[in-house]
């Protein structure tokens, strides 16, 4: 299976490539449409890996973890509760997590899997009816 990655190399950022052993083969194009090899092969230790995708928005579901709600003695709502996260909350491997400026309280670090939709969702009956 092909392992697609996003990476930075020297002054170039947001590049597309595949992992091949200890090397990255660079591609032109984007992950969802067409990709064309550039012919450039770069040692993996010379690139900085990025998050796999650049999100345009992040919506999260709060009440998908009922055990946590019970532990914190919170009632589970009848309808889903959503919230937004800043785009800066998505980072790549080995990148630094920064505490928000001026925030003196607790910071909770989470690693989660996200669903990415290629097409704009609008007036989706299934989502609205939930």
- CA nearest to 56, candidates 123, 122, 116: 116
Same domain assignment for residues 58 and 21: no
Residues 127 and 67 in one domain: yes
Q: What is the pLDDT of residues 45-91, one digit of tens each?
A: 999 999 888 888 888 777 667 777 788 888 878 887 888 888 888 88
Same domain flag for 69 and 130: yes
pLDDT at position 111 over 70: no
Are residues 36 and 18 located together in one domain of the fold?
A: yes
Length of the chain: 130
The verdict on 43 and 69 lying in the same domain is no
Max mean pLDDT range (20-29, 88-97, 118-127): 20-29
User: pLDDT tens for residues 13-48?
Assistant: 999 999 999 999 999 998 888 899 999 999 999 999
- Assess whether 118 and 70 both reside in one domain: yes
**What is the domain count for the chain?**
2
For the cut 50, the answer to whether the pLDDT of residue 123 exceeds it is yes
For residue 127, what pLDDT is reported? Answer: 46
Q: Where in the sequence is the domain holding 14, given as residue range(s)? A: 4-49
Q: Return d(Cα 52, Cα 109) in angstroms, integer.
A: 19
| Residue (of 3, 9, 14) closest to 48 by Cα position | 9
Structure token digits, residue 99: 């505490």
Q: At a CB cut-off of 8 Å and minimum separation 6, what does 26 contact?
A: 9, 15, 16, 17, 37, 38, 39, 40, 41, 42
Asked if residue 107 and residue 121 are part of one domain, the reply reads yes
């Amino acid at each position: 299976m092909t392992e697609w990655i996003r990476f930075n190399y020297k002054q170039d950022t947001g590049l597309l490539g595949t992992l091949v052993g200890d090397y990255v083969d660079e591609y032109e194009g984007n992950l969802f449409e067409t990709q064309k090899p550039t012919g450039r092969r770069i040692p993996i230790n010379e690139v900085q890996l990025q998050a796999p995708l650049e999100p345009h928005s992040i919506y999260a579901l709060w009440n998908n973890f009922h055990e946590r709600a019970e532990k914190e003695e919170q009632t589970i709502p009848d309808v889903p509760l959503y919230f937004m996260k800043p785009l800066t909350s998505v980072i790549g491997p080995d990148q630094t997590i920064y505490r928000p400026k001026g925030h003196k309280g607790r910071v909770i670090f989470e690693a989660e899997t996200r669903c990415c939709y290629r097409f704009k969702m609008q007036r989706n009956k299934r989502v609205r009816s939930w």
